[in-house]
Every structure is written in structure tokens, then in C-alpha cells.
A = this chain, B = another copy of it.
Amino acid sequence: MVIVGVMGPGEGATDRDCAFAYELGCAIAREGWVLLTGGRAAGVMNAATRGAKEAGGLTIGVLPSHDKSEMSPFVDIPIVTGMGEARNYVNVLSSDLVFACGMGAGTASEVALAIKSGRHVVLLGAANTTADFFGSLARQRLHTANDVAQAMEMARTLLQ
């Protein structure tokens, strides 16, 4: 199976971030890929997971807490780490490719760890500041897309 991560803010996500994440979750499921997120019932994690689930996909949630109390109801496979933000490393190592919708400190750590671990990252609708910074860290593995169709096209090519 191909496992694809969607990272993005929880509480700090914008409506646009969540709309992108939901649509991306749907597209990932339709592609036959498995979705992996940070698993919480908040923001981008929840929206992507709901999208994948509604489109008939399989969803993994790698939770920071030591139980399932904060889990998105759309997660099929909860991985309970009890490791707080250290689980961000598990998120990216377990993903064959990482999408990021929106940006915050937690998401930034995931994009950075993904680059460090040799993963390709596709930023969806990113601000120039964000694209410039991560582009300066890894020009070859850092990609930017303006919509979900373009992001999925990139991912298909990169995962071949």
C-alpha cells in the first residue's frame, strides 16, 4: 500500500486549509492510497481524515496523547504514541510522501523532519514566506501546488 501523509494545523487551521485538506483526503482515497495524519479531531487532521473516509478510503491517525480521547471519529487505525510532538517524526517516516495544508509550528516541524528524512513534500496553497524558507532547505524535494488537482498530479509523478 502507498501511505500518504497530510499535515497541517489543528486548532489554528483556516477554513481554506480545511477545505483543501478535505478535498485532498477525498482524492487520496479515490487514488487507492492510505491516508495518514496526526489523528486529532481538529483542523486539517480531521478534515483530511473525514474526506478520505467519506470517499471510502482507509485512514491512519498517529496520536500524540496516550489515549484516544482527542481522536478524530474518522480514523480507522489509531496509533497511540503517548509521545507528544515527538510523534511528528513517526508521521513523516511512515509517509511515502507528505502534503502540507496551511502552516503552524507543529506543521513546520513535520515538513522539516520530512525533508531531513528524505521525503518529498508538496505544500498546498502555501504563503511565499513558507515556500521560500523550505525551498532554501531542500529545493529538490520541496514542491508547491495551488490546488488539489495539481498537488495530486505532482504526488503521482513523485511516487512512481
Chain A residues at the B interface, C-beta cutoff of 8 Å: 1, 3, 34, 60, 62, 66, 76-86, 88-90, 93-94, 103-106, 108-109, 112-113, 115-117, 127, 129-130, 132-134, 136-138
Contact = CB atoms under 8 A, between A and B. Distances in A.
B105 A93 contact: no
Contacts of A106: 112, 116
Contacts of A133: 108, 129-130, 132-133
A76 to B, nearest CB: 6
A112 to B, nearest CB: 4
Counting every copy of the chain, the complex holds 4
15 contacts: A60-B79, A77-B77, A79-B79, A82-B83, A82-B90, A83-B89, A86-B86, A88-B89, A89-B89, A105-B115, A105-B138, A108-B112, A109-B113, A127-B136, A129-B133
Contacts of A94: 78-81
B79 A66 contact: no
